[in-house]
């Protein structure tokens, strides 16, 4: 079971965010049975609430035998024409994500971007 969970976990993208705009994001810790956990970033403009992102992702993961917990949320300002992403704000329901962790994940996914973060702002 652990090997299968590990394989399912390895197929979960570290980052899934919209291609541009300002939108909410959540930082999630994904787990499989007996497998190590990994943190992933999900951010989309369709989400009215941080919980929408969490619930949709949890449903998708459950189909692969994985579970997740929300470590917090915030907002992303993604400006592809400037190759910039700014991470800021917080989630009323889940609290503030560790933006430093989110920034590292985004840097791995967008190596040619300037990625910044700040604890202030909503």
pLDDT per position as a tens digit, 82-107: 999 999 999 999 999 999 999 999 99
Which among 81, 85, 76 has a CA at the least distance from the CA of 113? 85
pTM of the model: 0.94
Give every CB contact of residue 63 below 8 A, 6+ residues apart in sequence: none
Number of domains composing the chain:
1
Annotated binding site: 24
**Domain, as residue range, for 109:** 1-118
Indicate if 64 belongs to the active site. Answer: no
The domain that holds 53 is classified in CATH as 3.50.20.20
Query: Can you say which residues are annotated as belonging to the binding site for substrate?
Result: 24
Confidence of residue 122 (pLDDT cuts 50, 70, 90): low
Per DSSP bridges, beta strands 66-79 and 84-88 are antiparallel
CB 91 within 8 Å of CB 50: yes
Question: 50, 78, 86, 99: which one is catalytic?
Answer: 50
| Residue 2 pLDDT exceeds 80 | no
Q: Residue 108's pLDDT is what?
A: 98
């Amino acid at each position: 079971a652990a090997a299968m969970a590990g394989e399912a976990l390895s197929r979960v993208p570290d980052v899934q965010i919209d291609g541009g705009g300002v939108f909410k994001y959540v930082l999630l810790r994904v787990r499989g049975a007996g497998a190590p956990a990994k943190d992933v970033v999900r951010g989309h403009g369709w989400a009215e609430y941080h919980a929408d992102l969490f619930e949709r992702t949890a449903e998708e993961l459950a189909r692969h035998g994985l579970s997740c917990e929300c470590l917090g949320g915030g907002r992303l300002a993604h400006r592809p024409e400037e190759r910039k992403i700014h991470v800021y704000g917080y989630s009323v329901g889940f609290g503030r994500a560790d933006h430093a962790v989110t920034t590292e994940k985004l840097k791995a996914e967008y190596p040619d971007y300037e990625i910044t973060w700040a604890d202030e702002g909503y």
